[in-house]
Structure 1
Amino acid sequence: MACALHVHDLILLGTESTITSAEGEQACPYLNPKQRPWVVVRRGLISGGLIPVGVRGAQRHERCAGFTRLSEVVETRRPSQLRLRLAEDSRGGLQAFRTLSYLECHLVGLDMTWGPGGSVGYELASGIPTVRAESDLDFILFAPRKLDIKEAQDLWRMISSAPGKVDALVETPFCGFSLQEFVTTSPRKILLRTSDGRILGSNPWNLSNGEDS
């Protein structure tokens, strides 16, 4: 199971009281006991049977980080699976969902997996209304191979033509980074999100203390 889980995955837990702090104490008061407890896998190492997770409450400020045990995972949904799910008809008109539908149509030939994260991914996984009229679409692209700058620029041009604002994050086997920052900053260093924290680097597919090797 540990190898099958990745950052941004949504996981359903067996009970709502299984989120602990780094010290092993019960943490995160925001899970609603009346709803199925869905949480998102955070960036970090999965070790000792513990998964780093993020919890989303009913309000925007209700966010917290903690850990849960692999044994508590009942179901897993990846971003690439979530994009194929449809919002309820009454909510499909929200801009973030319309943006997702637009990208689904315009990225048909893309040879890498992608899907929604953030509030859109959470709502599609859990069925709990979290997307608001002003919500952006968090777009997660999984890129095991290196993107050359022209390919990345063409992709960003397509994504940024969507009807709503898109926050595009690229995930390599080593880190995550902003697609917009990559296409506007390369070849200079950009912010890379790694399991050990944030660093500056210019090659997200080959890290060595934040530098190209």
Structure 2
Amino acid sequence: MVGTLHVHDLILLRTESAVISTQRDPACPYLNPNRRPWVVVRRSRISDGLIPVGVRGSQRHERCAGFTRLSEVMETRRPDQLRLLLAEDSRRALQAFRTLSYLESRLAGLDMSWGPGGSVGYELASGIPAVRAGSDLDFILFAPRKLEITEAQDLWRMISSATGKVDAVVETPFCGFSLEEFATTSRRNILLRTSVGRILGSNPWNLSNGEDS
């Protein structure tokens, strides 16, 4: 049974035609009819029962956005369900997978859920090669409780010590934001990614009408 979907979740659809535009037309030319259609849940509002999804084609520039219905979802994979053991042995030498291995060994005791997004998450969920030699690791940390600044700084210091580049995003119940910016900036406001767009705010765990309170 498919439960509640969240941003960054990978979902398997029944057919490639399940991705539509807001006009109910086919939304993306990049879905390969010979492959199982895996898409990612985008950060946007769900309206009229339509789930916002992003589509990844076989080439780097092949990206598009569309919508699907919950009834079209066959399987889901959350980032925190995706680990290196799901990768093919022949792919694990790629830098992004080596970086994931490094973080897995150092975050075993972390009391918050986390997992890979981007090309690494897509490949681990779908089994479709997507990671390239120069791919970064997108790291998603789910933080339902507030991160103290010293805690965030320690976490970022450890993550940034990895040999590969890591783009770390923290997801609260209200928005997402860059862990690096939160841990290293001296500014009061940081960029917050919400379902209605990007705003500046100082408290990602307490938003009201687009403003922090």
Note the C-alpha offset of 1:83.
Answer: 2.1
How high is the sequence identity, in percent, across the aligned residues?
82
SS of 1:43's equivalent in the other structure is coil
Other-structure match for 1:96:
96
Cα distance between partner residues in 1 of 2:21 and 2:166: 32
Other-structure match for 2:116:
116
Other-structure match for 1:5:
5
Note the C-alpha offset of 1:207.
Answer: 1.1
Task: Decide which moves more: 82-91 or 141-150.
Answer: 82-91
Matches within 5 A, 1:119-158: 119-158=119-158
Note the C-alpha offset of 1:86.
Answer: 2.7
Q: Retained in 2: the 8 A contact 1:202–1:210?
A: no
Q: What is the number of equivalent residue pairs in this alignment? A: 213
Cα distance between partner residues in 1 of 2:17 and 2:210: 38
Other-structure match for 2:198:
198
Note the C-alpha offset of 1:131.
Answer: 0.2
Deviations 1:3-31 (A, max 9, x none): 61100000000001111112222110100
Cα distance between partner residues in 2 of 1:209 and 1:57: 36
Q: Give, as a single letter, the amino acid of the residue that structure 2 aligns with 1:207.
A: L
SS of 2:125's equivalent in the other structure is helix
Tell whether 2:43 aligns with 1:43: yes
User: What are the ranges of 5 or more consecutive residues in structure 1 without an aligned counterpart?
Assistant: none
Q: Give, as a single letter, the amino acid of the residue that structure 1 aligns with 2:150.
A: K
CA RMSD of aligned residues (A): 1.4
SS of 2:205's equivalent in the other structure is coil
Q: Retained in 2: the 8 A contact 1:149–1:186?
A: no
Cα distance between partner residues in 2 of 1:77 and 1:197: 25
SS of 1:90's equivalent in the other structure is helix
Tell whether 2:170 aligns with 1:176: no
Other-structure match for 1:29:
29
Cα distance between partner residues in 2 of 1:197 and 1:129: 31
Deviations 1:98-134 (A, max 9, x none): 0001100001111000000000000001111110000
Task: Decide which moves more: 115-124 or 22-31.
Answer: 22-31
- Give TM-score, length-normalised by structure 2: 0.96
Cα distance between partner residues in 2 of 1:46 and 1:174: 14
Cα distance between partner residues in 2 of 1:187 and 1:206: 18
Q: Give, as a single letter, the amino acid of the residue that structure 2 aligns with 1:170.
A: V
Other-structure match for 1:63:
63
Deviations 1:119-154 (A, max 9, x none): 000000111111000000000000000001000000
Note the C-alpha offset of 1:155.
Answer: 0.2
Note the C-alpha offset of 1:184.
Answer: 1.4
- Give TM-score, length-normalised by structure 1: 0.96
Cα 1:211/1:172, change in 2 over 3 Å: same
Q: Give, as a single letter, the amino acid of the residue that structure 1 aligns with 2:100.
A: L
SS of 2:16's equivalent in the other structure is coil
Cα distance between partner residues in 1 of 2:212 and 2:67: 32
